[in-house]
Structure 1
Amino acid sequence: MSSSPGPYKLVTVNTAPDRAKRLIGRVVEDVKDKYTIIHVGNAASIEEVKSVVEEHRPNILFTASMWTPEEAHQIITIAKGVVGEDLKTFSLPQGLQVNKGPDTVVEYIEENLPSLLG
């Protein structure tokens, strides 16, 4: 039996924390045979990013699809300013949730995890 990498501590940046928790819960369940990911917190605004990242010291940060590329870049810059350049980050394309729905978001994250987590 091979051990899965991790555990990875994940912080999401999503204005809908319950939705973030539900979607990430699905991803965590689907990939648990490969990765151990713990969703430790969510920042519901750009202003909350610094304090949430300082509190949880995540290995991974996801920005949700409601953020523009500029906002996602700002969020990532703030987070890396706290925990350093080793932070793995992933930004969902703007509008993905609205245009394609939650199943597509889950699939998109799962498709991109191997390259993100190496």
Structure 2
Amino acid sequence: MSIFRLVTVNTTPERAKRLIGRVAEGVKDRYTIVHAANADNIDDVKPTLEREQPDVLFTASMWTPEQAQEIVTIAKQTVPGIKTFSIPYGLHNERGPDAIVEFITENLPNILGPGTRSGL
């Protein structure tokens, strides 16, 4: 089974950790997801990625599409081969945490695909 190191970009780190924990628990028969770190703001993305060298980065739904794209660009420039996923803007506010978990879980096969960048 593949292990994926994940960094989230979320202004509420405890929420990110809790939601990713729910996702990881729900898919543990197919993937091992390790929530390596969270960047609280866009300025922290690059140093967090340099330190953690994750396989995957998720942007939270509080980021506008433009901000999410900026974060993704930073990620791809910092960690070649990183997989990225942006949760749609406003999803958490509109539909709550269960919708976030469901949305991530439904999209994981497309996000992660076969294998890992790091070979963990």
Instruction: Confirm or deny that 1:107 pairs with 2:102.
Output: yes
1:47 maps to: 43
1:26 maps to: 22
Q: Secondary structure of the residue that 1:40 maps to in structure 2?
A: strand
1:35 maps to: 31
Poorly superposed stretches of 4+, deviation over 6 Å: none
TM-score, with length taken from structure 1: 0.94
1:62 maps to: 58
Task: Map 1:51-90 onto structure 2 (within 5 A).
Answer: 51-84=47-80, 86-90=81-85
CA distance in 2, matches of 1:80, 1:58: 11
CA distance in 1, matches of 2:105, 2:78: 26
Q: What is the one-letter code of the residue matched to 2:65?
A: P
CA distance in 1, matches of 2:99, 2:109: 17
**What is the aligned-residue identity percentage?**
59
The C-alpha deviation readout for 1:55-93, integer Å capped at 9, x for no partner, is 000100000000011100100111111111x11000000
Indicate the RMSD between aligned Cα atoms, in angstroms.
Answer: 0.6
CA distance in 2, matches of 1:108, 1:65: 11
Instruction: Confirm or deny that 1:91 pairs with 2:89.
Output: no
CA distance in 2, matches of 1:77, 1:109: 20
CA distance in 1, matches of 2:69, 2:60: 12
Q: Which runs of 5+ in 2 are unaligned?
A: 114-120
Q: Secondary structure of the residue that 1:62 maps to in structure 2?
A: strand
State how many pairs are aligned.
113
CA distance in 1, matches of 2:79, 2:69: 15
